[in-house]
């Protein structure tokens, strides 16, 4: 049924407008609006005086003969300025069997809107009910991004070989009262800015922000919130609730202030982006934007077009390789690089972007090649989560030449090795060298692999060594949600304990995980709060927990100061400082690529690759023969004596112990200049420990 348009006013000054660019474009004399909708029979532009207004102050009916260019509806409205709140209504047939779901009562945001305003009475359920929803619907806001002063800022373009990524949640990072921030800044872009000294001191070089595109926090089980943000409603607007300031456009400026401040500290900004689905959900979800303008274009539909294909587990799948959607994705990425100065993107469930309009994987997906070959995006970090929720797994086979990949096999194999699984040693050796068994066929650099053992999705590192099973009861789904296979080990007791031996073992295991992640070739990624043993009390799917369960508790910084110090020193070692710095300023990644490596077991040159082995050692010799590194990974539950490579006779060379995770702080990790000498031809590695020795001239370089 074709709904009748509402009352409208055009006025003599409204002009035809231009079809490009899409969105609301500000000029000296007014604003040009353009929106795509092929099958709509009528479009209304709604202008609001206030986001909470029950009705628009002005409704402009777009004449198909005057305000339509091909499939684009466009109008120029003189006199409008940035800050104007607007939205659309789209009229047309409601025929789900043909893919059409027009509803002329629904207020729709602009797919290209640069800011989103959310009314105080926003109610996802009310928005989805029949009838006029103007009073409770999200609206778009006219913005002019050129009005911001970047003060010479540019994306940093830091080489991947020197990159250490820190995945964090903007709200969760500073929301906890222990953050020490003013109440209005907790959980905001401004709050993150105040913690930049902490990030810089920790030694990370990039923050990977969980979704900051405007999302619907109410897209969650009743009584809970969508905390992670993986339910986008806009691909251009920053999430307004992360802003500490008032005003419809405040989020744009505060986000850019944050980016500029991070860049001044030498820290890049990577966005976790969700181009695989939207918050509109399945057929019973609310009509907020895409469904109401071009449902048949924006989503992958089943053969029965009334049903949505769901490769995401979220009710719908964005039709990423459809030309209109391809352009929107590329335009979004370009906007965030050119106007918001971000340095890279991590693509959630990126394998979905390789599916065609019927859901089948493509050998050369157009949208991925669009991104890969875009000159505007050249030099931008592109990271793929190379799998989806429907079983498509592309780690090691993702398309293109510039993409990095979340290496899920690194996560799983390191977990298996450190909990002493059988047959884990050969895989551990491959992960340490940048996973050549996965990436060598493409002749990729080691940095192709994003190495991580924890992320937002799953156990925290503390919980990985404290729980054998998930404990997600707080999510209200009877512990059915979340992954069942976590490759975790509780070290003998489930959950918190006063047992000192168990606690000491957990602390050591946490350091072991950090050591293997930060010493391995590849690009390491750490997860927010792991460096202070943040806990979610065994919840491995805290997507709906906007509470202290998910927030960074800054009191842990004192409680687990030894772990924080260990990570800080390990980051310093990985970067161009300490031992590595003496090799022509090479980073550890570059050193691993260029140097020769010898594998050992407890005896030199006799690595044990058998099913029953739980230990591995290596010697790394630099090309210039300036120094040697000797590492020992003992995942066995008893101490083992490892033969050490002999030092040249008659010289002043001696092995120095830079790291031993079995020792208490501050002896667990020390700078090379202060590293104590190791005598003898054997080193006894304690149970479940990682040891790193270095050999250089005495006295140690200053």
* Residue 113 · residue 23 · CB < 8 Å: yes
Specify the DSSP class assigned to residue 450. Answer: E
184 carries an active-site annotation: no
CB count in 10 Å sphere of residue 654: 18
Burial of 162 per CB tally in 10 Å (0-12, 13-18, 19+): middle
Phi first, then psi, for residue 571 (nearest 5°) are -60, -40
- DSSP secondary structure string for all residues of 319-372: -TTSHHHHHHHHHHHHHHHHTT---EEEETTGGGGGB-TTSPBPSS-HHHHHHH
**Choice among 103, 208, 385, 583 that is catalytic:** 385
Q: Which of 268, 272, 348, 583 is catalytic?
A: 348
Number of other CB atoms surrounding residue 96 within 10 Å: 16
C-alpha distance from residue 589 to each of 164, 480, 523 (Å): 11, 40, 8
Asked if 258 and 194 touch (Cβ cutoff 8 Å), the reply is no
| 3-class state of residue 677 by DSSP | strand
Cis peptide leading into residue 283 (ω within 30°) = no
Give me the helix-helix angle, 323-338 and 366-373, nearest 10°: 30
Instruction: Determine which helix (DSSP H) or strand (DSSP E) holds 140, and give its type and residue range.
Output: strand 139-141
Cβ atoms 230, 109 nearer than 8 A: no
3-state secondary structure of 268: strand
Cα–Cα dist 665/573, whole Å: 16
| 136 touches 126 (CB < 8 A) | yes
d(CA 361, CA 358): 9
In this structure, the number of other CB atoms found within 10 A of the CB of residue 18 comes to 15
CA angle 253–255–259, rounded 5-degree value: 115
Rounded distance between C-alpha atoms, residue 33 and residue 448, angstroms: 41
Looking at residue 147, the DSSP 8-state letter turns out to be G
How far apart (Å, rounded) are the C-alpha atoms in residues 616 and 632?
Answer: 6
401 is catalytic: no
| DSSP-derived secondary structure letter, 587 | -
Q: Report the C-alpha gap between 184 and 190 in whole angstroms.
A: 9
* β strands within 396-492, DSSP E: 404-406, 449-451
From CA 80, how far away is CA 575, in angstroms rounded? 51
Integer Cα distance of 395 and 467 in angstroms: 27
- In whole angstroms, give the CA distance from residue 117 to residue 137: 9
The dihedral of CA 233, 239, 245, 250: what is its sign?
negative
What positions carry a catalytic annotation? Answer: 348, 385
């Amino acid at each position: 049924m074709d709904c009748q348009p509402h009352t409208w006013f055009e006025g003599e000054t409204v002009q035809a407008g231009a079809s490009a660019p899409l969105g609301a474009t500000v000029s000296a004399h007014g604003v040009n609006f353009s929106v795509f909708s092929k099958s709509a029979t009528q479009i209304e532009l709604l202008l609001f005086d206030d986001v909470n207004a029950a009705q628009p102050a002005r409704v402009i009916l777009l004449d198909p003969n005057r305000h339509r260019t091909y499939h684009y509806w466009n109008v120029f409205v003189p006199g409008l300025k940035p800050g104007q709140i607007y939205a659309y209504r789209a009229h047309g047939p409601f025929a789900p069997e043909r893919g059409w779901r027009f509803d002329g009562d629904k207020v729709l945001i602009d797919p290209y809107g640069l800011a989103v305003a959310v009314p105080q009475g926003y109610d996802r359920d009310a928005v989805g009910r029949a009838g006029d929803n103007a009073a409770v619907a999200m609206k778009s806001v006219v913005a002019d991004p050129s009005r911001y002063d970047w003060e010479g800022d540019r994306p940093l373009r830091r080489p991947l070989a020197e990159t250490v990524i820190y995945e964090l949640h903007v709200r969760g990072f500073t929301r906890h009262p222990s953050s020490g921030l003013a109440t209005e800044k907790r959980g905001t872009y401004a709050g993150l800015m105040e913690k930049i000294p902490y990030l810089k001191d920790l030694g990370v070089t990039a923050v990977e922000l969980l979704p900051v595109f405007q999302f619907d926090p109410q897209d969650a089980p009743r009584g809970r919130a969508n905390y992670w943000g993986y339910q986008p409603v806009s691909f251009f607007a920053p999430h307004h609730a992360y802003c500490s300031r008032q005003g419809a456009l405040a989020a744009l400026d505060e986000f850019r202030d944050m980016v500029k401040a991070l860049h001044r500290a030498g820290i890049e900004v990577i966005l976790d982006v969700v181009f695989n689905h939207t918050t509109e959900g399945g057929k019973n979800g609310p009509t907020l934007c895409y469904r109401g303008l071009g449902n048949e274009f924006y989503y992958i539909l089943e053969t029965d077009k009334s049903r949505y294909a769901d490769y995401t587990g979220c009710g719908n799948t964005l039709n990423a390789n459809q030309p209109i959607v391809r352009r929107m994705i590329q335009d979004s990425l370009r906007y965030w690089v050119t106007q918001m100065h971000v340095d890279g993107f991590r693509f959630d469930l990126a394998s979905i972007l390789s599916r065609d309009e019927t859901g089948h994987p493509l050998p050369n997906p157009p949208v991925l090649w669009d991104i890969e070959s875009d000159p505007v995006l050249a030099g931008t970090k592109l990271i793929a989560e190379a799998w989806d929720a429907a079983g498509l797994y592309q780690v090691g086979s993702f398309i293109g030449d510039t993409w990095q990949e979340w290496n899920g096999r690194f996560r799983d194999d390191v977990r298996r090795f450190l909990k002493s699984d059988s047959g884990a040693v050969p895989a551990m050796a491959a992960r340490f060298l940048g996973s050549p068994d996965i990436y060598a066929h493409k002749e990729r650099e080691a940095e192709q692999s994003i190495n991580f053992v924890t992320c937002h999705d799953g156990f925290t590192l503390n919980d990985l060594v404290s729980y054998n099973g998930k404990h997600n009861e707080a999510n209200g789904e009877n512990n059915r949600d979340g992954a069942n296979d976590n490759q975790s080990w509780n070290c003998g007791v489930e959950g918190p304990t006063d047992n000192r031996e168990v606690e000491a073992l957990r602390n050591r295991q946490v350091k072991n995980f950090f050591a293997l992640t930060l010493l391995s070739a590849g690009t390491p990624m750490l997860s927010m709060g792991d460096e202070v043993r943040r806990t979610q009390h065994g919840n491995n799917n805290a997507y709906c927990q906007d509470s202290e369960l998910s927030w960074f508790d800054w009191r842990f910084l004192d409680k687990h100061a030894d772990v924080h110090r260990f990570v800080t020193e390990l980051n310093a070692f990985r970067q161009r400082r300490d031992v590595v710095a003496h090799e022509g300023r090479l980073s550890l990644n570059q050193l691993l690529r260029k140097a020769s490596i010898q594998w050992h077991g407890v005896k030199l040159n006799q690595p044990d690759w058998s099913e029953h082995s739980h230990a591995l050692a290596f010697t790394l010799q630099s090309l210039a023969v300036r120094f040697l590194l000797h590492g020992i990974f003992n995942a066995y539950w008893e101490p083992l004596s490892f033969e050490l490579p002999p030092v040249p006779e008659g010289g002043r060379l001696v092995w120095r112990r830079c790291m031993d995770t079995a020792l208490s702080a501050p002896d667990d990790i020390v700078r090379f200049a202060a590293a104590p000498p190791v005598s003898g031809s054997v080193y006894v590695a304690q149970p479940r420990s990682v040891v790193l020795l270095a050999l250089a001239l005495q006295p140690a370089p200053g």
